[in-house]
Amino acid sequence: MTKEHTMAERLDQLAEKRAHVEAGGGADKLQKHRDKGKMTARERVASLVDEGTFQETGAFRRNRTTTFGMDKADMPADGVVTGAGYVLGRPVHLASQDFTVMGGSAGEAHSIKVTETLKASLTTGTPFVFINDSGGARVQEGIDSLSGYGKVFYANVLLSGAVPQISIISGPCAGGAAYSPALTDFIIQTRKAHMFITGPGVIKQVTGEDVTQDALGGADAHMSRSGVVHFVADDDEQAILIAKKLLSFLPQNNTEDPPIVDPDDVVEPNEKLRDIIPVQSNKGYDVRDVIMEIVDHRDFLEVQAGWAQNIVIGFGRVVGRTIGIIANQPSVMSGVLDIDSSDKASKFIRFCNAFNIPVVNLVDVPGFLPGVAQEHGGIIRHGAKMLYAYSAATVPKITVVLRKAYGGAYLAMCSKDLGADKVFAWPTAEIAVMGAEGAANVVFRREIEAAEDKDARRAELVEEYRETFSTPYMAASRGLVDDIIDPADTRREIAMALELLAGKREIRPAKKHGLGPA
């Protein structure tokens, strides 16, 4: 005879099963994880979302594999916590891998849970945050685990350009697992985490090279060498704070504009900007000092700060409106464009365009970096990515020429001819094919050679060329600069331009997509 259970008994059973799921791999494994200075999967979720807003999905999902003892394995939530919650009052979908459950390994059910959450993110038009902490594919499930990865990758691509995707790397992320973060928009990696395709052991076997995990796939290596990660965090807590700040700048999806947040309405002249650029045109300075004087509350979130440092990218606000900033950095390599800086800037421009974020370009560029290594490395192909990204972008594009704007690099930093809606120049701007010194050697070669005092004559002709061509007034006379402004008025001019361009609409030829340089 079947025993009838009361509602109270059923609720007790539910509470027991839920407690088991929330315990992950058990108290001992959870504590061991904490002892390493890491949050648990559920602690990360709780830290990310607003209190009391997380709604879990798939807590009782189980794998269907029975081989290699999997039918008897205890895997609460199949090693990944998935669901939705609110971050700073706005909804997000998320997944957080649980390393205490079979090392966070991804099997079929695990990956399907992530994929379903990705698709829910797309359906609802909400950002997706994936907290990675996994030993990789669950080998006991064989090809089913690889199929699961494939489903996640496919979903990542479906979401691309539709909703923002952020990956947090909080532990191991190896092999195929590394490609999901690579398909997302931003990667935040903690210093305790490692991400690579093949580990030190495999590399040792194949190449004979000895390499540590940190040197191969640590956060600093990916920030300074590979350019894979966008932010480095000391620990889980800081990584989550970065994710929250990043989300605050972004719209929920590609059909919305970014939120207007805490506008600083002060647009009075800022005389500090008049003194930032050195009088000597060959002397460097930190362009971030310019940025801080332009954005609201001196609040600038720099992206990929440790990679390709000759260009600075990141998010700020002007009178509450989110902007993406692309700025040459004269204090590093004189601010030249090279392979890495071109890749860094072009991807950021494409992101801003996808999510309706106006771009503001601060230009002080002497050209593209010359050299055999750059040419053989494909500087033509990589530099073309910037030309393509700016030309394809339909968001408001505002360019401010601070000082040097030479040759093809002038065009590549969003000139009027590449679709800039507003181009302003400071009086210190030098817009020309090349610097006056180099140009004079070409244009006036014979006159210099014929002169009795070659150095004096050359100096005269350099100054003549500079006054004729290397000034903003020549560019302004051709309509390539809209206005020459007092540096103190830069913030005001940008704010007014953003307001005027807020309703910008631009029609492009109908096509599936363009075929930009690879």
Give backbone dihedrals phi and psi of 438, rounded to 5 degrees, phi first: -70, -40
Type of residue at 241: L
CA distance 356 to 317: 14
Q: Give the single-character DSSP code of 223.
A: I
CA 120 – CA 268 distance, rounded (Å) = 45
Per-residue model confidence (pLDDT) at position 378: 96
- Tokens found for residue 233: 């965090």
User: What are the structure tokens assigned to 406, written together?
Assistant: 């030479």
Report CA 451 to chain centroid distance, whole Å: 54
CB 441 within 8 A of CB 448: yes
**Contact status, residue 239 vs residue 191, Cβ threshold 8 Å:** no
Query: Phi then psi for 236, rounded to 5 degrees?
Result: -60, -40
**Measured between alpha carbons, how far is residue 11 from residues 5, 24, 57, 87 in Å?**
10, 20, 19, 30
**Coil, helix or strand at residue 301:** strand
In one-letter notation, the amino acid at residue 148 is: G
- The C-alpha angle 132, 137, 141, rounded to 5 degrees, equals 135
Instruction: State how far the Cα of 1 lies from the Cα of 128, in Å rounded to an integer.
Output: 49
Q: How far apart are CA 456 and CA 459, in angstroms?
A: 5
Question: What is the distance between the alpha carbons of residues 429 and 424, in angstroms, rounded to a whole number?
Answer: 10
What tokens were used for 157? 């691509």
Q: In this structure, what are the phi and psi dihedrals at residue 81, rounded to the nearest 5 degrees?
A: -95, 125
- Using CA atoms of 125, 126, 131, 132 in order, give the dihedral in degrees to the nearest 10: 10
Tell me which residue has tokens 């990310």: 48
The torsion angles phi and psi of 472, rounded to 5 degrees, stand at -70, -20
Phi, psi of 57 (to 5 degrees): -125, 135
Q: Are 170 and 193 in contact (CB under 8 A)?
A: yes
**Rg, Å, the chain Cα set:** 27
CA dihedral 500, 501, 502, 506 (to 10 degrees): 140
Catalytic residue annotation: 175-176, 408-409
Q: Model-level pTM?
A: 0.94
Q: Is 146 exposed, middle or buried (0-12, 13-18, 19+ CB in 10 A)?
A: middle
> DSSP character for 333?
G
Query: H or E stretch including 418?
Result: none
Order across the sheet with 186-190: list the strands: 55-57, 80-87, 90-97, 128-132, 165-169, 186-190, 231-233
Pair 357, 398: CB distance under 8 Å: no
pLDDT of residue 66: 65
pLDDT means per 10 residues, the chain with 518 residues, are 81 94 92 94 98 96 75 83 98 97 91 97 98 89 89 98 98 91 98 92 88 93 96 98 98 97 92 93 94 98 98 98 98 97 98 98 96 96 97 98 94 96 96 74 75 76 73 91 98 98 92 91
Q: Read off the tokens for 382.
A: 């990589």
Q: What is the pLDDT of residue 461?
A: 74
DSSP summary character for residue 370: P
Of 404, 401, 274, give the one whose Cα is nearest residue 333.
Answer: 404
What is the Cα–Cα distance from 174 to 165, expressed in whole angstroms? 19
C-alpha 512 chain-centroid distance = 25
